[in-house]
Structure 1
């Protein structure tokens, strides 16, 4: 992750600076508000609306500080999503962004493997083929999913495959583990 400081008068409707700096075409950029959570981790909270994209950083900071009590006092932090063909163009309150990490208990490693969009009404079981593909698993390989809520511990809550995703949470972090490695799960997580 790279950190770039932006002038307080900067307006995001001019995304050419980002395009030049990161070599990401303007049409492939979506900015999200990035906030610190209770557990000290950072996650995207919501994508910027067209109106928010047209505000200066100072105006945006004022607007967001009235809306988000947990906004970073050091200023507005942003997450740059690089859009691809599978990215929904217009997000609604029913869309969620799921970040995926793969846990290898033998090496006590957790690594980021990607992200996927879901509808709030969808079930974790609906995205299993995509999760297996991102994790590098065989199509029929069993796996366990854990929703990370506060911190990585060996007793993460198992994500039940039938209930729907939480409709009030826009961003999730799911930890994936091979079913064959479950006997190793009590290992210390990094």
Structure 2
């Protein structure tokens, strides 16, 4: 057999292997958002969140999320990420939520299932692209200050203050 057909086969197999590795990549980028979710806002301050219920992983959630604006009564994007002990995704849920649903972010261990569940909230258009995987990621991030001037009812302020005090105590108890 001549060497050229053998070399051609090796090159062809190398190209196929590289293509398969690229085709199976599960990263989701900002470029994907612009391509998949273009539009203008239906009302001032309108925003979108990735929205899915118990998707297998982040890619499936973000890829098939409906391209719809959040209801006016919501203000934040919520993410719940359940992982097995190896850190692999078991379930991903994302949606638009009001403030009340964002007051208890963080991670917990679900002992009887040997799973870890992390929840996070963010404020901004499609800000819930990444998944929370640990205490550093599982946070409530806002772009505007939380205050009475931002239409919070007194009961919401009390809950927020209480949650902040509890979170601070938990942090200092681990130091």
TM > 0.5 fold call: no
Please state which band the TM-score falls in when normalised by the shorter chain. under 0.3
Larger RCO (alpha carbons 8 Å, 6+ apart): 1
Report the structure, 1 or 2, having the larger strand content: 1
| TM-score with structure 2 setting the length | 0.27
Taking structure 1 as the reference length, the TM-score comes to 0.25
